[in-house]
Amino acid sequence: MADVFNNASVEKNPNEDLCVVYVLYFDEKKGQIPLLMYPDDRLRSNKKYMRPIHYHPVWFLETDDLDHIDLEYKGYTFFGKKFLAKSERKKRRAGLKEETPETIVLIVSLPIEIDIFGDDLIRILTNNIRAKFEDQLSEVIVSEIASENVIKTPKIQELISEGNKIKLFLRELIDNTIKDYFSKVIEKKSDAPSLKAQKAISYFSIRGFEFSPLSSLKGENTFYNVDLFDPKQQVAVDLSTTTPLSINNIYFIENSQEIEITVQNNTDEELNNISITITHVKEFFEKEVMTQQVDIWFPHEELLFISPIVPHIDEYLFSIRQLDDGGDREKILTQRIDLKLIKKITS
């Protein structure tokens, strides 16, 4: 990541090329505040790293029924998830009670070459953090606030020390989770027919990342059993398995001010529990324009989705996800739509 967010004031950590994790909370006085940055906590003072975080749409959505929401920014995808944690601290804004829950946001940034893994990774990280640290995050927040005091009494120093201990264990959990996840996913998907999966595995191999328990995610050539992606072999890949859904047509109907999108199920199987959303994009913010559910999508069936447009908004994001047995939504298809570039129909 350092080649995009280059700043000489922060020494590059090799892990930044793979994954950056932000654990933040919403402070009623200051707004979005990082509690912990992985792999290097000094990144919190780097404005180039923090800029996309302040504009991430996850801050502006409710936690209810929200799986996670993504932001693409300069070659990276920022996967964002929000949840509430218990709190007993005195709030710094009138009208809030001590027991008002803390708003915690977890963001995982991955290069777009490997963003195929982001949905699963942020889900696993969130589950692990909530299972082991949800009740302790309020202590970390208290220590973060206490560190702002110019005069640090013995009691304040104790609060800061306790918070730092929790962050040490939290960082270790994040590090172990990432290494464990990628080591398993590489073993599982190294023979996957998907072109995107092959390219993602090749990214690890080319960069030489190692994910053994003793490694630190540094570049070490240990991918002897992983074949690099070879573009010349694309003809041998069954495209029907690599792209379960494909967009056949996108039209802008000028008279009715609507977008028409035709999507086809390329598989020989039924697709169930499909969610379709169209959001408009403006200055990093995303807002739903259309949402639709498809209970059963028959093999090779072509479906038409129609959505109104928002005046003076030209860019939209079309997303299709499938609800799995565990209740999580897996991204199947994402397409950015620019009205200036698609075919226009007047009737």
Provide CB contacts within 8 A for 65, sequence distance 6+.
Answer: none
- Per-residue pLDDT at 4: 36
CA distance 172 to 178: 10
Distances (CA, A) of 256 to 180, 263, 291, 344: 51, 21, 19, 11
- The DSSP output letter for 147 is T
β-bridge partners, 263: 247, 303
Domains of the chain: residue spans and CATH:
14-183 (3.30.450), 243-345 (2.60.40.10)
Give the chain's residues under pLDDT 50. 1-14, 64-65, 212-242, 283-285
Distances (CA, A) of 23 to 70, 124, 324, 326, 329: 16, 14, 26, 24, 22
CA distance 273 to 332: 12
CA distance 347 to 331: 33
Provide CB contacts within 8 A for 9, sequence distance 6+.
Answer: 45, 46
Residues 199-227 have pLDDT tens digits of 776 776 666 565 544 444 443 333 334 34
Distances (CA, A) of 303 to 257, 265, 306, 319: 20, 8, 10, 14
Quick check: helix, strand or coil at residue 178? helix
- Per-residue pLDDT at 13: 44
| Residue of 232, 264, 243 whose CA lies nearest to 194 | 243
| Residue of 159, 160, 224 whose CA lies nearest to 186 | 224
Pairing of strands 102-111, 20-27: antiparallel
Quick check: helix, strand or coil at residue 275? strand
Residues 254-307 have pLDDT tens digits of 888 889 999 999 888 899 999 998 887 554 445 667 888 899 999 999 999 988
CA distance 164 to 140: 7
CA distance 53 to 50: 5
Q: What is the DSSP string of 57-125?
A: GGGGS-STT---EEEEETTEEEEEEEEEE---SPPSSTT--TTSPEEEEEEEEEEGGGGGGHHHHHHHH
- Per-residue pLDDT at 286: 54
CA distance 63 to 17: 30
Element (H, E) at 221: none
